[in-house]
Each structure stands twice: as structure tokens, then as C-alpha cells.
């Protein structure tokens, strides 16, 4: 059996080389069952959300939302245009994942913080022109909070022709009571644009609410966005009791099953779900407060299990639905990261959600090496669609602890099967004397099973040789054993 696994790994390595050329593997400080097969410094721009979207017609692409430049707090030279540009959104061609190619950077205004990015292809709702490709991003800092929509159809042939077509900057005034509604406030954070319904689900704030809530917009005509509805936890609206300073991070949308999930940061630390069978009137189904001891969830993903160890099909106990929940670290102090964790909830009976397991990276020396420690999120989408976790593997971005992979085959016993912690060999920020550890902050998956992770540390490889690894895009491949393949038990295991 051991020889079989070795032969299989050798075969997969040969296939990767045949498909993508000579794969380079960079030695990291630490790695287990994860290989770095590609890297791009993205002009040294610090990054957050990464979103992959590929198909046989439109090609293979990665879209990256950038956070402000804390390295120099200035605009960065874009060699493609020859212009110094404030951080915005990068578009990379990943046809060859071992050699990502930066095709274009869409700048934003002075440190506007465009950390979110989403895309839809061959959009069937727009009337004229029909079947275009669109990108949506945020601007969440300053007095002009908004979401921007771009036509990116020409990204491969003529990227300079990509154009801004509309913006979302307000809900209708008095649409939720007198003085409730209006210009977006607090945050215009992350969201999900559904190519199936034309709806955009955002985390954003407005007058009449104490903190960020969920807004649903009709983007069937991307050039004319329309407000549809809102959802929130009791206590968030002005005058309601039960407010604990909680704010929604972002919605995870399962339209196929008429559910929307979200984690709430700070204060209450809630996990919540809504019925969206009527998206014009979402109904809260359940919520659960994880704090204390948690720091507040970032990402909530539903997972259906046809089989669970030590659970039988008798009396209708199978299939079961669980929710994978990842806290977000909070603050620079390591104890905050120590309070953050990954949870698994049994949500089969929606009126009684039940936490069944938790997991954390052992503290080790992560509090001594600098940077932030703790989870940020797990890969919630695969090729732009909701992650169904058919392989029962979860990719977790864990900042200075790198990328971790959890085996979810037993939801009551989460087990780590791989990790990748990149070596820091980039130039440090000008204000510090030594490089800060790379802090992998966001991870997403493509249709090939490859993972794409971004770093926000600000350590730069610009001007250094190809061996340098600093802030940028990391392309990763899992090389370990799999309990499940395409949702089925791996009988060779």
C-alpha cells in the first residue's frame, strides 16, 4: 500500500510537469504535504482577498483585492503602465499556474482599501451588450464608501479597455423607517454576486443601523444597481435591544438551498443563518453566540455529509448538515490569536445548532517570530462557486502560521493533514530592521484543486532575483492522501 501511494505521488508529479512545464518547488521554513508550485510578487502590493475564476471559454484567472500600502504609504509603480498607482485590484492569468502573469492592475484612489473582489462571466441578465464579464470591488475607507462594477470582458485582449460602469453608494432614504437608509457608512466590506440570480449580497452599513449589516442588491442590469432588501441580527438597528457591538463580516450564500450564512465580529461573535427563499424579505432562521471564548467568526460554510463516523442512518440521522466556522484573529497581540479557532457546528436541526468540535494551531513560537498569529478565513469558494467540500479538505489561512489543511471527514474530530509556512527572505519595510514573517491572509481554490494564497505583510521582492519570496500570490498544491475524491470515499486509502 505504501508503494502504491509513492507511485501515485510520482505519477501526479509527472503529470503536473507535463501539463505546466518544469514545476519549481521552493524550500520553505516548514511544509508538510503542500508544495509551492508558483509565485508572483504582484508589484509588491499587499493583498487580501483572492478569487479564482476559470473555464474553457474564458481562460484561467485570479483576481486579487489589495489593502493599503503600509510599506511606504505611497502609490506604487506599475511597470505595465509606467504610472505610480494606489493599490486597487490585480488581474492575473494562471493558465500556467507555475508562472502566474500579472495582466493588469486597476488602481483606486488614495488608500481606498479595495480588499474585496468578485467576478461573473458571460452575464446572462444584461440586455445590451449581452454576455459580458464583470468585476465588483469595494472602497471601504474614507467618507465615500461604495462598491464599484467594471466591465472586464477585454481583460485578455485589451485590458486597458476595461471600464467602470456603475457604483453602489447608498440605500434608499427612509426605506427602513424615518431617517433609516441613505449613504453607505461604517463599512462597505465584502460580498457575493450570484451569476444565477443576478443578486449581490454585501456587508455594508447605512444610517439607522449601529453597525454593518447585510444588504441585497439587484444587479441584473449592472449599469443600474437596485436595492432589494436587508438582513441583520436583533439589536443592530437603532432602538432595538440586545446590541453587543456585533457587526456582520460578510455573507456566504447557498441559493440552491435557500440559505445565507454569516459570521459576526466583535461583541457577540454570532454565527447566523437566514432563509432567502424570498430574497426581498430574508428571515432569520438561527443564530449562535460563540463569544466568549471566541473572537468572532469570519467565514461560515455549510457542508452536507452522507456518512459520519459513529453515526448511523437509522432514525433519519443521515444525511447531516454541518457548518465549518473560522474565527478571525483580532489585533496584533498574540493572545487575541490564541482565542481564535476553527469550529464545526451540527446544523441538521436548524432550531438547535450545536458545536461539535474545535481546532487550533498549537502556539509553538508563533508569538515570538513577529507578525500576526491566528486564523483569518477558510477557502469558501471553488472556481467562484460555493465550496461544497466534496474532498472533505479545508484550506485555512493562518497568518504567520501559514496555510493549514484540515481533514473534515470526521466533523467531530478535525485533523490537520498539511501545512505550508513560507520562508521570509524579502526586503523588510523601511521602518523595521528585519523582515516580518509572511502572513498568508486569504486562500481560494480553482477547478484544478490548486490553492491561491495572498500575503499582507509588506515585505517586498521587487528588484530582487526570482528566488525571493515576499508579499505576493502563492500557488499551492496538496500532495497528501485523500479520504474523499469528488465526494466519494477513496477506497485506495
pLDDT band at 489 (very low <50, low <70, confident <90, very high): low
User: Which H helix or E strand runs over 9?
Assistant: helix 2-20
pLDDT band at 461 (very low <50, low <70, confident <90, very high): confident
Q: What is the pLDDT of residues 383-401, one digit of tens each?
A: 999 999 999 999 999 999 9
Q: What is the pLDDT of residues 159-215, one digit of tens each?
A: 999 999 999 999 999 999 999 999 999 999 999 999 999 999 999 999 999 999 999
Report the DSSP beta bridge partners of residue 328.
Answer: none
What pLDDT shows up at residue 1? 42
- Report whether pLDDT(492) > 80: no
Q: Which grid coordinates are listed for 389? A: 467540500
- Report whether pLDDT(7) > 50: no
Secondary structure class of 244 (helix, strand, coil) = coil
Average pLDDT of the segment spanning 105-111: 92
The answer to whether 181 and 168 have CB atoms below 8 angstroms apart is: no
The answer to whether 247 and 264 have CB atoms below 8 angstroms apart is: yes
User: Which H helix or E strand runs over 167?
Assistant: strand 163-168
pLDDT band at 281 (very low <50, low <70, confident <90, very high): very high
Respond yes or no on whether the N-terminal peptide bond of residue 319 is cis (omega within 30° of 0).
yes
Average pLDDT of the segment spanning 96-114: 95
- State the Cα–Cα distance between residues 491 and 493, nearest whole angstrom: 5
Secondary structure class of 491 (helix, strand, coil) = coil
pLDDT band at 488 (very low <50, low <70, confident <90, very high): low
- Name the more confident of 489 and 78: 78
Q: What is the pLDDT of residues 416-426, one digit of tens each?
A: 999 999 987 78
Residue 344 sits in a domain of what CATH number? Answer: 2.130.10.10
Please state the pTM of the whole predicted model: 0.92
Report the DSSP beta bridge partners of residue 363.
Answer: none
- Name the more confident of 486 and 104: 104
What pLDDT shows up at residue 365? 87
The whole domain housing 369 covers 2-489
Query: How many domains does the chain contain in total?
Result: 1
Strand boundaries in 206-314, DSSP class E: 213-218, 226-231, 247-254, 259-265, 270-275, 283-289, 297-305
Q: In whole angstroms, how far apart are CA 263 and each of 172, 269, 453?
A: 26, 7, 21
Nearest Cα neighbor of 295 from 354, 343, 260, 339 is 339
Amino acid at each position: 500500500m505504501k508503494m502504491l501511494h509513492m507511485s501515485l505521488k510520482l505519477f501526479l508529479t509527472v503529470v503536473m510537469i507535463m501539463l505546466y512545464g518544469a514545476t519549481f518547488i521552493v524550500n520553505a521554513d516548514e511544509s508538510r504535504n503542500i508544495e509551492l508550485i508558483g509565485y508572483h510578487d504582484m508589484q509588491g502590493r499587499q493583498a487580501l482577498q483572492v478569487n479564482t475564476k476559470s473555464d474553457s471559454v474564458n481562460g484561467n484567472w485570479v483576481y486579487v483585492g489589495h489593502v493599503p500600502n503600509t510599506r511606504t504609504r505611497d502609490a506604487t509603480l506599475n511597470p505595465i503602465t509606467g504610472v505610480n498607482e494606489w493599490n486597487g485590484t490585480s488581474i492575473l492569468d494562471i493558465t500556467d499556474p507555475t508562472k502566474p502573469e500579472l495582466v493588469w492592475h486597476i488602481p483606486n484612489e488614495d488608500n481606498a482599501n479595495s480588499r474585496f473582489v468578485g467576478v461573473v462571466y458571460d452575464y446572462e441578465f444584461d440586455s445590451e451588450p449581452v454576455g459580458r464579464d464583470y468585476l465588483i470591488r469595494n472602497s471601504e475607507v474614507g467618507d465615500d464608501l461604495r462598491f464599484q462594477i467594471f466591465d472586464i470582458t477585454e481583460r485578455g485582449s485589451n485590458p486597458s479597455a476595461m471600464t467602470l460602469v456603475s457604483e453602489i453608494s447608498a440605500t434608499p432614504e427612509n426605506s427602513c423607517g424615518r431617517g433609516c437608509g441613505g449613504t453607505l457608512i461604517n463599512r462597505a466590506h465584502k460580498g457575493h454576486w450570484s451569476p444565477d440570480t443576478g443578486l449581490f449580497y454585501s456587508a455594508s452599513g447605512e444610517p439607522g443601523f449601529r453597525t454593518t449589516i447585510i444588504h441585497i442588491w439587484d444587479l441584473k442590469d449592472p449599469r443600474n444597481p437596485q436595492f432589494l432588501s436587508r438582513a441583520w441580527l436583533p439589536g443592530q438597528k437603532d432602538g432595538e435591544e440586545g446590541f453587543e457591538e456585533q457587526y456582520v463580516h460578510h455573507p456566504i450564500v447557498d441559493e440552491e438551498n435557500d440559505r445565507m450564512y454569516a459570521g459576526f465580529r466583535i461583541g457577540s461573535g454570532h454565527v447566523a443563518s437566514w432563509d432567502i427563499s424570498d430574497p426581498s424579505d430574508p428571515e432569520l432562521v438561527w443564530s449562535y453566540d460563540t463569544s466568549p471564548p471566541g473572537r468572532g467568526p469570519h467565514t461560515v460554510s455549510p457542508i452536507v455529509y452522507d456518512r459520519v463516523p459513529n453515526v448511523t442512518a437509522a432514525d433519519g440521522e443521515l444525511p447531516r448538515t454541518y457548518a465549518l466556522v473560522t474565527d478571525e484573529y483580532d489585533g496584533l497581540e498574540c493572545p487575541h490569536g490564541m482565542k481564535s479557532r476553527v469550529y464545526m457546528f451540527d446544523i441538521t436541526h436548524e432550531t438547535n445548532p450545536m458545536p461539535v468540535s474545535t481546532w487550533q494551531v498549537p502556539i509553538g513560537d508563533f508569538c515570538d517570530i513577529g507578525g500576526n498569529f491566528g486564523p483569518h478565513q477558510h477557502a469558501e469558494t471553488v472556481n467562484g462557486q460555493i465550496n461544497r467540500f466534496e474532498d472533505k479538505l479545508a484550506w485555512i489561512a493562518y497568518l504567520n502560521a501559514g496555510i493549514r489543511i484540515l481533514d473534515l471527514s470526521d466533523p467531530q474530530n478535525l485533523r490537520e493533514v498539511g501545512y505550508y509556512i513560507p520562508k521570509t527572505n524579502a526586503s523588510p519595510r523601511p521602518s523595521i530592521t528585519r523582515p516580518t514573517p509572511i502572513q498568508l491572509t486569504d486562500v481560494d481554490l480553482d477547478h484544478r484543486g490548486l490553492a491561491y494564497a495572498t500575503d499582507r505583510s509588506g515585505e517586498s521582492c521587487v528588484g530582487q532575483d526570482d528566488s525571493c519570496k515576499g508579499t505576493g500570490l502563492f500557488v499551492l498544491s496538496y500532495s497528501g492522501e485523500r479520504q474523499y475524491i469528488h465526494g466519494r470515499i477513496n477506497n485506495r486509502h
